[in-house]
């Protein structure tokens, strides 16, 4: 295998630096993944005991969604809590830096029935800004449940983030993290092209999270969820395919901003590695997730 000068790239920009493009790419990605349904099935199957562990006998249930995006899993979680604890007031705080995501989440809330007992509090902040407030004692609230779904890629320092948000839990409070599995195709893609795509800041999977928890001697339960993303459009090079490539590589305008050699190699990897399956003429790429339920 001869090495091409793959990173004779034009200058690449992280997708996270362009909130508009990120929101567009995220929307395309969300429409191509099976993960919502898979997370929902997991919640239906596993969440009841978990909810009871933090919500039992509470006069008010206080929840924090960190990096909640457009809020689909959040509304599922709420529905389940309400079914188990009908009428108990819920304060639901959302930490989300992307203003477009917040407005979509708010729209979803207004079209969801039976949220009368839920008070939403919106924080347009990054986790780092919130953590700074906690450390400076400007934010002293305690929560019964904090969840971080598909957002640990953006935290920078995993250990201090986990420490900070555990500090924000009540004594019986629970923290749940959902993130790509270290054995998923996307994790392997990021490991392989980490330097070419400047992904080292974001290259975080279940492996790093569990390592941190073990180092800090924190017990947890781990579940792996099979999931994939339909990548047929990536080969076609159409607008949706380009946005999806941006999201999969976390690179803004990936197709125009990397060398032809690197683009060809990544497309080849997406379509012919062991992580690709073909069904009914469509291509799917492995996007396994891990759910880490941290003990109090």
CB 213 within 8 A of CB 162: yes
CB 76 within 8 A of CB 115: no
Is there a binding annotation on residue 194? Answer: no
Tokens 């900070």 locate to: 164
CB 253 within 8 A of CB 244: no
Left (φ > 0), alpha (ψ -120 to 50) or beta: where does 23 sit? alpha
Left (φ > 0), alpha (ψ -120 to 50) or beta: where does 156 sit? left
Tokens 């339960």 locate to: 221
* Strands of the 61-66 sheet, one edge to the other: 118-123, 90-95, 61-66, 143-149, 169-180, 289-294, 220-225
C-alpha 261/C-alpha 269 separation (Å) is 12
CB 138 within 8 A of CB 194: no
Q: Which two tokens stand for residue 43?
A: 């919640």
Is there a binding annotation on residue 287? Answer: yes
One DSSP character per residue, 32-63 reads: HBSHHHHHHHHHHHHHHHHHHHHHTT-SSEEE
Annotated binding-site residues for substrate read 35, 287
Annotated binding-site residues read 35, 287
């Amino acid at each position: 295998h001869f090495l091409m000068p793959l990173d004779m790239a034009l200058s690449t920009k992280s997708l996270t630096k362009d909130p508009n493009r990120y929101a567009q790419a995220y929307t395309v990605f969300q429409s191509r993944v099976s993960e919502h349904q898979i997370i929902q099935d997991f919640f239906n199957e596993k969440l009841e005991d978990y909810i009871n562990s933090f919500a039992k006998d509470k006069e008010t249930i206080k929840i924090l969604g960190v990096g909640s995006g457009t809020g689909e899993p959040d509304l599922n979680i709420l529905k389940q809590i309400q079914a188990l604890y009908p009428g108990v007031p819920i304060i639901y705080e959302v930490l989300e830096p992307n203003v477009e995501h917040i407005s979509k989440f708010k729209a979803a809330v207004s079209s969801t029935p039976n949220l009368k007992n839920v008070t939403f509090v919106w924080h347009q902040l990054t986790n780092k800004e919130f953590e700074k407030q906690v450390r400076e004692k400007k934010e002293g609230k305690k929560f019964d449940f904090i969840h971080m779904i598909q957002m640990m890629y953006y935290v920078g320092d995993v250990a201090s983030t986990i420490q900070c948000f555990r500090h924000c839990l009540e004594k019986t409070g629970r923290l749940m993290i959902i993130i790509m599995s270290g054995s998923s195709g996307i994790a392997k893609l990021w490991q392989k092209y980490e330097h070419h795509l400047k992904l080292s800041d974001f290259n975080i999977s279940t492996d790093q999270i569990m390592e941190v928890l073990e180092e800090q001697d924190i017990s947890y339960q781990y579940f792996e969820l099979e999931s994939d993303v339909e990548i047929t459009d990536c080969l076609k090079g159409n607008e949706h395919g380009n946005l999806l490539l941006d999201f999969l590589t976390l690179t803004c305008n990936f197709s125009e901003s990397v060398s032809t050699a690197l683009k060809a190699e990544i497309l080849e990897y997406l379509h012919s590695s062991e992580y690709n399956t073909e069904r009914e003429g469509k291509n799917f790429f492995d996007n396994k997730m891990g759910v880490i339920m941290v003990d109090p």
